[in-house]
Structures are given as structure tokens and as C-alpha cells.
Amino acid sequence: MTDNPVQVMGVVNLTPDSFSDGGLFLELPDALPHARRLIAEQADMLDLGAESTRPGALPVAAEDEIERLIPLIRAVREGSAIPISVDTMKPEVARAAVAAGADIWNDVSALRHAPEAPDVAAELGCQVVLMHMQGEPRTMQDAPHYDDVVAEVTGFLAARAEAALAAGVAREKIWLDPGIGFGKRLEHNLALLAHLDRVVALGFPVLLGVSRKRFIAALDPAAAETGDRLAGSLAAALAGAAAGVAAVRVHDVAATVQALRVWRAIAAAGG
């Protein structure tokens, strides 16, 4: 068990079709108050996304992503120094975002979407999240298959970290993420959550995204709606905290901050 505080990354989706809050915060007048609310709820960083990665989601053109993201990055930056992450697979979007004030490139393709992605990450000098995904968002849930999901995901993440280092990304800029729900069935997600210590052992800070995800509904039919998955999201976030993840990516910031605070106090009392 770690003594380190687990950081909370609050999600702001500027997408019409995200699985949990698609369409709610598409426009700046809605997205900005939402971002400000997450900051007030004590998010340690924000993750802004303009392209949904849910299974079956349609791709978004780089110009459209940039058009949605940049005004929000600038507006958040005007009022806060909070670290801003952008959830994009496209180097040109990451470049524009960093120029506008973003600090972190959260890439669910782990710098594989474009051949120049590792070089661009090195050149930008921002932090980079390398996430595991089997397949691509549109088709990833069609037939996920692993012989040993934990070994394959940790091997993949180690290889992507090596590729980033080889391109010149500084070691201390690299985060890893097992990609819960990305080309994975329930048993794959559970095996990864049970063995997060193996991802942590790779030696990079680990970001965990479990918030409102479908595996929770697979375990509790009463959680068919994403809004009914808070309790399961908190349970999985705490499992991550116990395994030593550095940060959790969540939609419900206030509840997660409280859950982590209680968990940490109990852990500290145990010595």
C-alpha cells in the first residue's frame, strides 16, 4: 500500500457521443462551468477530450478537435494553473493543445496513431500518457482476445515506454495506463484490476480509468445507466489506490476525492 496521495483527474468531454456524458458539455458555455466545477471539487488535473473513444464511436477530424479544445484550454488556463491533459490520438491536436497551455498528452493509442507521434511527444516536452488498447475504438470490443492479459498489457506498456524513450521523451514525463475497457472483456478488466501492481512495477506513474465504465454494469445489472455506476467506480478507484496507481481519471470528482481521503486516512492510521 502506498502513502502517496492519488491524484484525481477530472474528465471534461467535448463530444457529442461519449458513453457517459456525451453531448452534455459540447459547447464552451457548458464545458467551462463544468471544468470550473471539477476544479472547485479539488480535481488535481483535468482531461479534456473532443473525440469519443467509446466502442463504435466515429472519428473526428483534427480541425474539429482543435476547434472544440483550444477555446476551452485557453479559458481554463485564464482562471487556473491546474495541469490540463488533452485526450487525443492526433499529434497535430496535441501540438495545438500544448501551444494553448495544455501540459499532458493523454494518448489512448500510446503514440501509435501516426508515425510521427513519438517524435512530436519528445519535441513538445509535455507529459505523455501511454494507454493500452487492443484494436481501435471503432471495433475494439468486437472480439478481444488474450492468452495472458496481464503479461500482454504490461509487455505492451513496457515496449511503448521504450519507444517513447528512444524518440527522446524524458523518462519522468511518461505515464502508463492499462486501458480498462479498451478491447477487453469483463474477465480481462478484472484480471488487470487484480494485478495492477504488475503495471505499477514497471516503474512509471500509472493512470487508471475506471469511472462509469461498462464492466461495472456487467457486474451489476442495476447499473445499466452510466449515472448509476458511481459506487462501482469508487470501488475500482480504491482498488487502484491500494495497488499504488498515481492517478485516477474520473467523472465524479467530489465523490472520488472523498473516497480517497477516507481510504488514505485509514491506511495512514494503520502505519
> Which of 52, 88, 154, 233 lies at the binding interface for ligand HH2 (CB under 6 A)?
52
Q: One symbol per residue from 58 to 97: x for binding ligand HH2 (CB under 6 A), - otherwise; what is it?
A: -----------------------------x----------
> Which of 94, 249, 250, 253 lies at the binding interface for ligand HH2 (CB under 6 A)?
249
> Which of 43, 108, 176, 234 lies at the binding interface for ligand HH2 (CB under 6 A)?
108
> Which of 91, 209, 232, 240 lies at the binding interface for ligand HH2 (CB under 6 A)?
209
Closest distance of CB 80 from ligand HH2, Å: 21
Query: Edge to edge, what strands does the sheet with 207-209 contain?
Result: 174-177, 127-131, 104-107, 84-87, 45-49, 7-13, 247-250, 207-209
Q: Select the span of 46-54, 89-97, 114-122, 229-237 touching ligand HH2 (CB under 6 A).
A: 46-54
Residues between 154 and 193 that touch ligand HH2 (CB under 6 A): 177, 179-180
Q: Which of 90, 95, 213, 214 is catalytic?
A: 213
Backbone angles phi, psi at 47, to 5 degrees: -120, 115
Does 132 participate in binding ligand HH2 (rule CB under 6 A)?
Answer: no
Closest distance of CB 175 from ligand HH2, Å: 8
Active site residue 184: no
For the CA atoms of 259, 46, 125, 105, what is the dihedral angle to 10 degrees? 100
Active site residue 249: yes
Closest to ligand HH2 by CB, 228 vs 267, is 228
Task: Tell me the residue nearest to ligand HH2 as measured from the CB.
Answer: 209
